[in-house]
């Protein structure tokens, strides 16, 4: 991984109506689609690959598959995980993603909440 911005940007990895959910979680992943990478894929020619709607479906399917693996890993280690929306505009600006990279979703990974005893 290559650092692209300094500071704690975890708050931007939440959508507008998600409040401070998981604010102290140790990890927030941001899933970013790089449009150029899919357009210049070599080795095969998938029908419709250059159609923006078909490309968009690949971004979302790939993101879902990765998120599923993160859920499995988290569960295997006794961690909690949550897949959610993010502040796409703010993340794009803060991470200097440009026009060809787009934040899609985020996923928070952390420790499960401890249940309080009521007695």
Least Cα distance to 33 among 68, 2, 5, 60 occurs for 60
- What are 80's strand-pairing partners? 110
Look up tokens 């991470």; give the residue.
95
Mean pLDDT of 10-22: 75
Q: What percent of the chain has pLDDT over 90?
A: 30
Prediction pTM value: 0.79
pLDDT at residue number 68: 97
pLDDT(22) > 90:
no
Mean pLDDT of 89-109: 90
Residue 77's pLDDT band, with cuts at 50, 70 and 90, is very high
Asked whether the beta carbons of 33 and 59 are under 8 A apart, the reply is yes
pLDDT at residue number 76: 97
Say which residue, 84 or 40, is predicted with more confidence: 84
Quick: pLDDT tens for 47-76: 776 777 877 888 899 999 999 999 999 999
pLDDT(15) > 90:
no
């Amino acid at each position: 991984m290559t650092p692209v911005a300094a500071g704690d940007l975890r708050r931007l990895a939440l959508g507008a109506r998600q409040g401070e959910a998981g604010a102290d979680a140790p990890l927030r992943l941001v899933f970013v689609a790089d449009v150029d990478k899919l357009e210049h894929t070599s080795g095969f020619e998938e029908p419709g690959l250059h159609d923006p709607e078909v490309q968009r479906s690949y971004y979302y399917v790939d993101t879902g598959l990765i998120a599923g693996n993160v859920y499995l890993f988290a569960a295997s280690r006794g961690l909690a995980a949550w897949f959610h929306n993010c502040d796409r505009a703010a993340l794009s600006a803060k991470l200097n993603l440009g026009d060809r990279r787009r934040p899609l979703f985020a996923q928070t990974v952390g420790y499960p909440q401890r249940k309080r005893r009521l007695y």
